Amino acid sequence: MEGLVDAPIREVLTGLGGIDQCVSEFIRVTHARLPDRVFHKYAPELLRDGRTEVGTPVAIQLLGSDSVQMAEHALTAYGLGARHVDLNFGCPAKTVNRHKGGCVLMREPEALHNIVKAVRTALPADARVTAKTRLGYEDRSMGVACAVAIAEAGADELVVHARSKVDGYRPPAYWEEIARIRHAVPGLSVVANGEIWTVDDYWRCRERSGCDDVMIGRGLVSRPDLALAIKASQQGLPRPEVGWEQIAGLVLQYGDHLSGFLEQRFVMGRLKQWLNYLRRGYTEAEILWSAARRCKCLTELESLLEVWSHSGNARKTSTVAEPVGMTAW
């Protein structure tokens, strides 16, 4: 989710509702001491008690392999106001793994233990330390061993993406493997992640993983009302009606936030990236895409969305389509 789930989109999505907590994009920790401005760049919420405008807490995510540096940067984040530090051991990106970051560390459970232990020891007791892993690197055989190492190091919570690095993002997600991890670390809170695109997916994931909580990434970006719909389903209520007109308004809102967050040359790239995700959940976005991808500036895209949203093409009670090309199980 690097390059899309930024502070502006966190503001937009948490404003719609249903989200209990967010995690920042990862901050890459190497051997150089990062200045405070880097933390504020990735998580400007630090200037607001670590919360979005509507009060949703945001965890600061760190990625790296040097336990000493990770601990020092976690302490810096705490000093800037973070009360939750998340450690990324799940990123499958080749460039990240090549520099010994992310999921490649799952080859070495002892290294994970050392990093988590160092961070936990460095931070005061009121700070939460959590981690995210996959089921393994080359295959799905290391999930339990890594979870045990993380639990013994004192982590408060573990999010498990139910695939290996080699699996990438190809469906299916192996939610039942998360159940094995839960049984191996009964004292650790385990959160399920991966391939949750619909409310039905959410309930199937809970059933197969045994987890009470889930983390949603691409599914929420594709269907911004998914968290709201899940909350309603938990309470036995009808799904809230969030039509395309409102979604288009969120895209415009995101563009406004981006304009104060990024250089203009990067704004269109992120907007188009989000519209591309929305194609999975909304037929209107699919129809709009061919014209939107030709827009060269924010003004052009805003005009297109405003015309579309208030024309006969936009239906306030738009039906959300099932994700295109996604496998349900």
Residues marked active site are found at 91
CA–CA separation, 269 and 258 (whole Å): 11
* The one-letter amino acid at 306: E
Cis check for the bond before 172: say yes or no (omega within 30 of 0): yes
C-alpha 256, offset from chain centre: 21
* Closest of 108, 170, 161 to residue 131, by C-alpha: 161
| Burial class of residue 260 (count of CB atoms within 10 Å of its CB; 0-12, 13-18, 19+) | exposed
Cα distances from 12 to residues 89, 142, 198, 298, in angstroms, run 27, 36, 20, 17
In the numeric block, which tokens belong to residue 117? 């232990």
In the numeric block, which tokens belong to residue 136? 């393994």
Q: For residue 189, list its beta bridge partners.
A: 157
CA–CA separation, 18 and 311 (whole Å): 29
277 close to 1: Cβ distance less than 8 angstroms: no
CA–CA separation, 51 and 303 (whole Å): 32
Q: Tokens 């709009």 belong to which residue? A: 288
In the numeric block, which tokens belong to residue 79? 């000093």
Where is 89: in which H helix or E strand?
strand 84-89
DSSP secondary structure letter of residue 51: B
298 close to 267: Cβ distance less than 8 angstroms: yes
Going by DSSP bridges, is the β-strand pair 214-215/157-161 parallel, antiparallel, or unpaired?
unpaired
